[in-house]
A = this chain, B = another copy of it.
Amino acid sequence: MDQTLMGFAESLRGLSMPELRKDPIVGRWVIIATDRARRPVAPPSEPFPIGAGVCPFCEGNEVHTPHEILAYRRPNTRPDEKGWRVRVVPNKFPALQIEGGLSKRGDGIYDQMNGVGAHEVILECPFHEASLTQLPVENIREILWVYRDRLVDLKKDSRFVYGMVFKNVGPAAGASLEHSHSQLIVTPIVPINVIEEMSGSLDFFNYRGRCIYCDMVHQELTGEKRVVLDTPNFLAFCPYAARFPFETWILPKHHNSHYENIQKIEVDEFGVVLKTILMKLEIALSKPAYNYIIHTSPFDTQALPHYHWHMEIIPRLTRVAGFEWGTGFYINPVPPEQAAGFLREIEVDVSGGRVE
């Protein structure tokens, strides 16, 4: 966000509760959250100001975050003090607020509701590392397990229907702090992109009687040309219709619609797969800015035969321009077969990692 906008946002008054508004034409919801304009952000074009001020995510600075919700810590250490390995806190500048009712209401042709939801930050390590790949695999497994723990807890709240786990790395990917972290946003409505995935995969299931993601795993393993990594329980590949150069998806091979139903043995393997893929991308693209996002099923559904949780990793190398905004058509200059071939060749060693 640039200085002009920051200044303008500072002058805003009156909207304390975030508001959810629905576009009446396509049904997309938007969060109007004026508090977000006040958060500290690095200008998108500059690297993070390392060492400039106190990092609120470092061990010893627990006082600079809201009270922790959950942490995996050494025995005999106390909440909001040192001794944690992974720590979850509310976002200090939340897009949605945890308190209050939904209060759905109309305004002529428009629809709105209160911006009720959860917005949490997962601090991935106590020390100031910018990359998840600097951590031992064991710590990455704990981070993946903490995602599960938070989803299991939040889905008990009947106001909420969807939980989205995501990670922004680098200013070009929208990250505002360097210290390695991910986020969880829980919403009172199912987001439109999720509805589209659910509906498209249900159409396929009704027509073919199979999960389209399972079919995709099968076809990719047969062809192999887009495969980046194949392990007993996971497949990482560059998708056939990749929107972005080096876009990579990780799918569990065994059908499971809800990420929070993941088993411990799968998380152990997922930790290795994720670290491997991120290391390959960092080498291939010189530590790119990237996002990863876990796509999973809504809270209010039971096990679904047509949907399959997965993680999408998107390096942010190209800008999305007017054409993409207008059409939803993406222009990708790197065929996924070429990207996968390149990533496949890169050898990495996942055994190291910083421990303090």
Q: Please list the residues of chain A having a beta carbon within 8 angstroms of any beta carbon in chain B.
A: 1-2, 4-5, 8-9, 12, 15, 19, 21-37, 44-46, 95, 107-110, 162, 164, 166-168, 171-175, 183, 185, 187, 191-194, 196-197, 200-201, 204, 212-213, 215-216, 219, 223, 239-243, 245, 284-286, 288, 291-295, 312, 314, 317-336, 338, 342
Contacts and interface: CB of A to CB of B under 8 A. Distances in A.
A335 B37 CA distance: 11
Contacts of A4: 284-286, 288, 317
Given A95-B331, A333-B33, A292 B12 contact: no
A295 to B, nearest CB: 7
Contact of A328 (B2, B109, B192, B292): B192
A12 B334 contact: yes
Contacts of A285: 2, 4-5
A26 B200 contact: yes
Copies of this subunit? 2
Contact of A174 (B212, B213, B216, B320): B320
Nearest to A21: B241
A334 B26 contact: no
Contacts of A240: 21, 23-24, 107, 110
A12 B29 CA distance: 40
A294 B325 CA distance: 11
A343 to B, nearest CB: 11
B197 A329 contact: no
A8 B185 contact: no
B241 A22 contact: yes
A151 to B, nearest CB: 14
A262 B175 CA distance: 43
Contacts of A33: 331-333
